[in-house]
Amino acid sequence: MLNSSDIKEVLLSEEEIKEIVKRLGEQITKDYEGKNLLVVSILKGSIMIMADLLREIKLDCKIDFMAVSSYGSGTRTSGSVKIIKDLSIDLSGYDILLVEDILDSGVTLSNLKELLMLRKPASLKICAFLDKPDRRKADIVADYTGASIPDEFVVGYGLDYDEKYRNLPYVGILSPSVYGEN
């Protein structure tokens, strides 16, 4: 059973998430009219926002999936990403929309963006469901942001702690007791 005391506070309820996703979908639908849209989900954290957002994008599009991990400490602003699972579609000619769960230091996404630009897409934009602007180390901004949140460790709606909590339908602040602080 899920221990509800693991969550200190609900940050975004299911209803709030629905509103956010609807707004993002409307904006993206407007912006990508007439384009060659390929929506790319960065696994695993973006599965929920990906599935919900796609239903709010009222355009023809294709989808693909990619899994990456950052090399090194994660505090560096340069370096590269390790590809765990690559895309199956050749990016040339596509207008890519990268869908990510959360933009934190930004190291992963800025490195990934650099790597994908080498594949010559027609364009590449980023949609981050959550953004922690206070934590930014790399020079990167999301083109679409669901919600800006304070510098707290959050889980749910795809986001994990030690691979757990991804299935929560809301976003909650993880109780520090879970990771050994009180």
Residue 24 or 32 having the CB closest to ligand IMP: 24
| Contact range with Mg ion by CB under 5 A, out of 37-45, 63-71, 130-138, 162-170 | 37-45
Interface with Mg ion (CB under 5 A), residue from 20, 21, 32, 45: 45
Token readout for 2 is 């899920």
Interface with ligand IMP (CB under 6 A), residue from 57, 159, 168, 178: 159
The Cα 33–Cα 84 span in angstroms is 32
The Cα 138–Cα 7 span in angstroms is 29
Binding mask 64-83 vs ligand IMP (x if CB under 6 A, - otherwise)?
Answer: ------x---x---------
Residues 64-103 that bind Mg ion (CB under 5 A): none
Reported in sequence order, the residue ranges of 21-162 that DSSP labels E, i.e. its strands, are 37-43, 62-70, 81-85, 95-103, 123-131, 144-148, 154-155
Query: Is 126 among the residues that bind ligand IMP (CB under 6 A)?
Result: no
Token readout for 90 is 């050749």
| Contact range with Mg ion by CB under 5 A, out of 43-51, 89-97, 139-147, 166-174 | 43-51
Token readout for 168 is 């929560």
Residue 177 CA neighbour count, 13 Å, CB half: 7
Token readout for 48 is 């929920």
The count of other CB atoms within 10 Å of the CB of residue 147 is: 16
Query: Is 98 among the residues that bind ligand IMP (CB under 6 A)?
Result: no
Which residues are at the interface with Mg ion (CB under 5 A)? 45
Q: Residue numbers of the site for ligand IMP (CB under 6 A)?
A: 45, 70, 74, 100-109, 153-155, 159-160
